Amino acid sequence: MANEGWMLIHTGFRKYVFEKGTPGTYTYRLELLEKDTHSPESKSYLDFLKETGIDVVGECVNWVYLRCKTADCKFDPGNRPLYKLTHLLKIQAFFNTIRLIFMIAIALCITGIFVLEHPKPTPVIDFFKGFCVGISLASSVLMIMLAPYFNRVNRKVKAAIKDLYTCN
């Protein structure tokens, strides 16, 4: 869209605001930070980027939308092995966190189902049992659906590590 003259100027939750400008004025990147944008480490990094002419135009949890003037762009070239590996490791860590959350949810819900077996059945207990079954089923299904993406990221990390042996 930047190449067509639509410049992203702001993002919110499921909202993107563009303004019309000269095509190719800005180059945009979406970056995954290791911590959320309000952490001291992320603030230090984003302040550094600002010093070098890279602006933050939007953020969502750990994701930031960055832009800089195309003529003087200081983004990491996406094809460099070290940049690729750094980026993939962040995505891998992000997926591992999601997987851990799902596994904890499944474990808690299964525990809940067993614990709730003991008291006399009441509508409330039945509701919570059904809730636990639903959450653990949903988490399991999501984990199975996301498994190919987890594996793809792991394969790309291995390939990027291999690339690093030959050039940086």
Residues near another protein (CB under 8 A) are: 31, 45, 47-49, 51-54, 74-77, 82-83, 86, 168
Which is closer to another protein, CB of 45 or CB of 94? 45
Which is closer to another protein, CB of 93 or CB of 137? 93
119 token code pair: 């008291």
Smallest separation (angstroms) from another protein to the CB of 73 = 9
Angle at which helices 81-115 and 123-164 pack, to 10 degrees?
Answer: 160
Which is closer to another protein, CB of 50 or CB of 155? 50
Smallest separation (angstroms) from another protein to the CB of 82 = 7
Q: Using the structure block, give the residue that is written with the tokens 């207990």.
A: 125
Which is closer to another protein, CB of 20 or CB of 51? 51
Smallest separation (angstroms) from another protein to the CB of 127 = 49
What secondary structure does DSSP assign to 28-66, as a single string?
EEEEE-SS-TTSHHHHHHHHHHHHTTPEEEEEETTEEEE
Smallest separation (angstroms) from another protein to the CB of 130 = 48
Q: Give the CB-side neighbour count of residue 56, counting CA atoms within 13 A.
A: 22
Smallest separation (angstroms) from another protein to the CB of 47 = 8
Whole-Å CA distances, 28 to 51, 54, 68, 150: 17, 10, 7, 26
Which is closer to another protein, CB of 88 or CB of 132? 88
